[in-house]
Amino acid sequence: MGISVYWKDQHGQILATVEDSDALAQMSSLLSRQTGSACVRFIDPAGDACFNQLQIPVLVSEIRSLLPAIGNPRWQSHLQAVLSLIEGASKSHTYVWFQGD
């Protein structure tokens, strides 16, 4: 069970993707413990989370702050790929989707 990340336009067309090789799913307990976060804590392997253009800068900031706490090199690399996708999702009327199972 993974959590894949998609950048989609308003019509649901996929503009970019980062498929999960279980790295993000394995980090889910770390993500859910971020109780002070506005976005990251809602990413879980059993559901979907969608972030809009107003939420994306907050999501980027929260993921950047998590990177130093990730000791596993595979997780670190995967989270960096996710961050790159999110940082590129800057067009109006597009969304970043985290899709679990």
User: What confidence tens digit (pLDDT) does each residue in 42-71 have?
Assistant: 998 888 999 999 999 999 999 999 999 899
8 Å CB contact between 21 and 5:
no
Q: Is the pLDDT of residue 1 over 70?
A: no
User: What confidence tens digit (pLDDT) does each residue in 18-49 have?
Assistant: 998 788 888 888 888 888 899 999 998 888 99
Distance from C-alpha of 29 to C-alpha of 56, rounded to nearest angstrom: 21
Q: Could you give the 3-state DSSP secondary structure of residue 64?
A: helix
Which residue shows structure tokens 């002070």?
A: 36
Split into its structural domains, the chain has a count of: 1
Q: Which domain holds residue 11?
A: 4-99
Comparing C-alpha atoms, which of 24, 43, 86 is closest to residue 94?
A: 86
Band of residue 85 on the pLDDT scale cut at 50, 70, 90: very high
Distance from C-alpha of 57 to C-alpha of 54, rounded to nearest angstrom: 7
> Does the reported pTM lie above 0.85?
yes
pLDDT of 53 reads 93
8 Å CB contact between 53 and 94:
yes
- Helices 73-88 and 56-66: crossing angle in degrees, nearest 10, is 160
Q: Could you give the 3-state DSSP secondary structure of residue 96?
A: strand
